[in-house]
């Protein structure tokens, strides 16, 4: 079982928002997409889930599928009502049609009413049919106002649009070694005053009890003025690092997790944006270095940043005093 060097025993931090009790935690604190690996319960679903936040953060395909299903569901609901009242109360519907065709006429009338299109071929007759048609029109105005706001909110919500390398690598660095990962923006946005904060989580045994210790990992450079190209973040593994003298088995036993938080100023949104992710010990590659991911254009007029190369690395020979080390997973 991993043991923390006495030099760092009193340097762990407790303001991470996570518990120090490893026995009550899941295997991972932060998911790769930056969301907390936490499921909440103890309250009814409608009390602990924000529909607005869920729809804003939902994947694009899921979002538009949800809109389609909701729209179809409302139309089916009102179509059943109109069909139950009697399609003879819908002026313009051919009374000689089959039941299926009559139901579809009711469905499309509902669609036209909900969207307030109103082509005019089919129109309601009678107090009851007109009442439900009026209620559906009111519902349509409300629903589409909300949908418009949601679509605008998703479109205009500030995001960092950062891409992280899939792996942490341990590479030769100056006279020793360092833990590294790489980031880049993948949209045509521009971030300035970009700052990174890296936290190390180690699950160790203390007094026969498994606890989680958090440490701030010092970076060679933790803030840059502009993120135009890629940025390789470097944590030197030296006497000032909590990972000093950790073996491969120590890293595995401690279920090491590296939590990364990056924030910067987006000059398009004129707002601060941030994004986070985490790496586990299984994502660490020992004895490697990242390959360049940008080059000069053939005509020499601009720089080409190849985002598909953000994960590219090559194996390298480690310094003599580290070449037999088993500090991290291969």
Is the domain of 214 the same as that of 302? yes
In this structure, is residue 299 part of a structural domain? Answer: yes
Is the domain of 98 the same as that of 206? no
pLDDT (tens digit per residue) in 88-114: 888 888 877 888 998 999 999 999 999
Residue 2 C-alpha from the chain's centroid: 31
Last residue of a domain, one of 156, 183, 202: 156
Judge contact between 214 and 298, C-beta under 8 A.
no
pLDDT attached to residue 245: 79
Half-sphere exposure of 274 (CA within 13 A, CB side): 12
pTM assigned to the model: 0.78
In this structure, is residue 327 part of a structural domain? Answer: no
User: Is pLDDT at 329 greater than 50 in this prediction?
Assistant: no
Judge contact between 150 and 62, C-beta under 8 A.
no
User: Is pLDDT at 275 greater than 90 in this prediction?
Assistant: yes
Average pLDDT, the chain: 85
User: Is pLDDT at 54 greater than 50 in this prediction?
Assistant: yes
Judge contact between 22 and 210, C-beta under 8 A.
yes
pLDDT attached to residue 93: 83
| CA dihedral (184, 190, 194, 198) positive or negative | negative
Domain of residue 173: give its range: 20-37+159-315
Instruction: Dump strand ranges (E) for the chain.
Output: 90-91, 123-124, 162-164, 168-173, 176-185, 191-206, 209-216, 223-227, 231-237, 257-266, 271-280, 284-286, 288-290, 294-296, 303-305, 313-315
User: Is pLDDT at 327 greater than 70 in this prediction?
Assistant: no
User: Is pLDDT at 326 greater than 50 in this prediction?
Assistant: no
CATH number of residue 102's parent domain: 1.10.287.70
DSSP state, residue 307? G
pLDDT attached to residue 15: 64
Is the domain of 176 the same as that of 266? yes
* Contact partners, residue 24, CB within 8 Å, separation at least 6: none
Number of domains, the chain: 2
Last residue of a domain, one of 103, 121, 156: 156
In this structure, is residue 213 part of a structural domain? Answer: yes
Is the domain of 65 the same as that of 177? no
Supply the Cα-derived Rg of the chain in whole angstroms.
29
Pair type for strands 288-290 and 313-315: antiparallel
pLDDT (tens digit per residue) in 57-69: 888 899 999 999 9
Identify the helix (H) or strand (E) that includes residue 103: helix 99-114
- Of the candidates 83, 89, 118, the residue with the CA atom closest to the CA atom of residue 102: 83
Judge contact between 199 and 317, C-beta under 8 A.
no
Is the domain of 120 the same as that of 207? no
pLDDT (tens digit per residue) in 156-196: 888 899 999 999 998 888 888 899 999 999 988 889 999 99
Is the domain of 127 the same as that of 205? no
Is the domain of 194 the same as that of 274? yes
Last residue of a domain, one of 156, 175, 209: 156
| CA dihedral (11, 13, 19, 24) positive or negative | negative
In this structure, is residue 142 part of a structural domain? Answer: yes
């Amino acid at each position: 079982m991993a043991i923390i060097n006495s030099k760092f025993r009193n340097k762990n931090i407790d303001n991470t928002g996570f518990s120090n009790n490893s026995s009550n935690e899941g295997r991972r604190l932060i998911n790769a997409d930056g969301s907390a690996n936490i499921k909440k319960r103890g309250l009814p679903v409608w009390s602990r889930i924000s529909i607005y936040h869920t729809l804003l953060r939902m994947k694009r395909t899921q979002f538009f599928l949800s809109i389609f299903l909701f729209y179809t569901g409302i139309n089916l609901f009102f179509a059943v009502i109109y069909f139950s009242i009697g399609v003879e109360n819908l002026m313009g519907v051919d009374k000689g049609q089959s039941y299926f065709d009559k139901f579809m006429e009711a469905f499309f009338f509902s669609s036209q009413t909900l969207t307030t299109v109103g082509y005019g071929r089919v129109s309601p007759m009678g107090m009851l049919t007109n009442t439900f048609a009026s209620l559906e029109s009111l519902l349509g105005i409300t629903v589409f106002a909300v949908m418009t706001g949601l679509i605008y909110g998703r479109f205009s919500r500030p995001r960092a649009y950062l891409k992280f390398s899939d792996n942490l690598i341990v590479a030769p660095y100056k006279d020793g070694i360092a833990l590294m990962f790489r980031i880049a923006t993948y949209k045509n946005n521009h971030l300035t005053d970009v700052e990174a904060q890296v936290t190390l989580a180690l699950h160790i045994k203390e007094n026969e009890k498994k606890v989680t210790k958090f440490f701030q990992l010092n970076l060679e450079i933790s803030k840059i003025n502009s993120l135009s190209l890629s940025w390789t973040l470097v944590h030197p593994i030296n006497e000032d690092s909590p990972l000093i003298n950790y073996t491969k088995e120590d890293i595995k036993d401690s279920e090491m997790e590296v939590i990364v938080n990056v924030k910067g100023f987006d000059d398009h949104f004129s707002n601060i944006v941030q994004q986070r992710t985490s790496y586990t010990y299984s994502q660490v590659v020992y004895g490697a270095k990242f390959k360049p991911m940008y080059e000069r254009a053939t005509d020499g007029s601009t720089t080409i940043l190849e985002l598909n190369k953000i994960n590219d690395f090559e194996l390298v020979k480690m310094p003599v005093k580290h070449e037999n080390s088993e500090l991290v997973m291969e």
